[in-house]
Amino acid sequence: MSSLGYTNQKTMVALGSINDGVRTGSTLSTTGSDNRYEFPSGGYSKVDVALLYNMDAAETGNSIELIFEQSPDGENWYRIPNETVTDGTSTLNERTFVFTGNDGASKELSIGIDVWYKNLRFSVVETGVATNFGDVFAHLTVSE
């Protein structure tokens, strides 16, 4: 069933797994290619990435960083930029979403983005880790 008036929506598990409603995350690292998911996004207008971030019980103050990239051909990838404007001048920087977790616990987050790309991928890394990495579960909803 579609929501918000979209004629077509699809959902998929991007990182981790789900079994009988129980979400199991993928172990994080400091390397984005370890937790990366790519998919064809042409024809869709919105993507929602719903995340469950589980910081390890022994950790405090850790964060995850979410990076989006687009590709016209599925081989060459380009970071999605962030724009700041000052006195009519646009400055573009590589966009990174930073999300601080709950010390030694779980926290949920949903990021919705507009899509005008043929292919999209995102990667997740964990920062601030003293000893033990946490995990992340990611569920996608794409909407036409």
Class of domain 9-143: mainly beta
pLDDT at residue number 2? 44
Quick check: 128 and 142 in contact, CB under 8 A?
no
What is the reported pLDDT for 128? 95
User: pTM of whole model > 0.75?
Assistant: yes
pLDDT in tens for each of the 144 residues of the chain? 445 677 788 899 999 999 999 999 999 999 988 999 999 988 888 999 999 999 999 999 999 999 999 999 999 999 999 999 999 999 999 999 999 999 999 999 999 988 888 999 999 999 999 999 999 999 999 998
Q: What residues does each domain of the chain span?
A: 9-143
Q: How far apart are CA 93 and CA 3, in angstroms?
A: 33
80 backbone dihedrals φ, ψ, rounded to 5°: -80, 130
